[in-house]
Amino acid sequence: MIVHLAVLGAVALAATSAAAEELGPREAWAFMLGKPFALTCSDGTVGEGRLLSDGSVVGKIRVGNRGEMRSGTLPPGTVRVTDTGLCAYFQGLPFPPCLNVRKIDRRRFHASMSIMGFSYCQIDSLTPRSFRRAR
């Protein structure tokens, strides 16, 4: 039984990996736009939100794994498409962290962002139902 589960897990992993597709900056922007996502960072920050067409982000966040989730927005132009990537421009950072986006299937994506080499965030799409329920 355990062998069967291991084989099934390996096949599922291989199928997911084969279907995943790295997206360029413009493709990533178009694919992520308006879809709900969950954010988990190495410093304990968690959140969820949506990327809007003006480059703003709306959602909820708990910074550093302390306190309650708080609703908030990032202003227009925070997320921008550049020649080198889909990047987030945050005040106070010496350079913008950029996203590496993989399309999992026609609705889901996975993205990662490294911030100054020592911190990172994982961003995964949510189903619209789970996003609404968490609000």
Q: pLDDT tens track of the chain, all 135 residues? A: 333 333 333 334 334 444 678 999 999 999 899 999 999 988 899 999 999 999 999 999 998 888 899 999 999 999 999 988 899 998 888 888 888 899 998 888 898 887 766 778 889 999 766 555 444
CA 23 to each of CA 4, 10, 42, 95: distance values in angstroms, whole numbers, following the listed order? 34, 24, 23, 22
The reported pLDDT for the residue numbered 87 is: 92
Would you say residue 8 lies in a domain?
no
Domain assignment present for residue 104? The answer is: yes
DSSP 8-state symbol, 83:
S
pTM value?
0.72
Q: Is residue 91 part of a domain?
A: yes
Residue 10 lies in a domain: no
**Domain for residue 127, yes or no?**
yes
Q: Return the pLDDT at 73.
A: 94
**Radius of gyration of the chain, Cα coordinates, nearest whole angstrom:** 16
Nearest CA-CA partner of 48 in 66, 61, 34: 61
Q: How many domains does the chain have?
A: 1
- Domain span at residue 46 reads 22-134
pLDDT score at 50: 96
Burial of 9 (0-12, 13-18, 19+ CB in 10 A): exposed
- Residue 99 counted as domain residue: yes
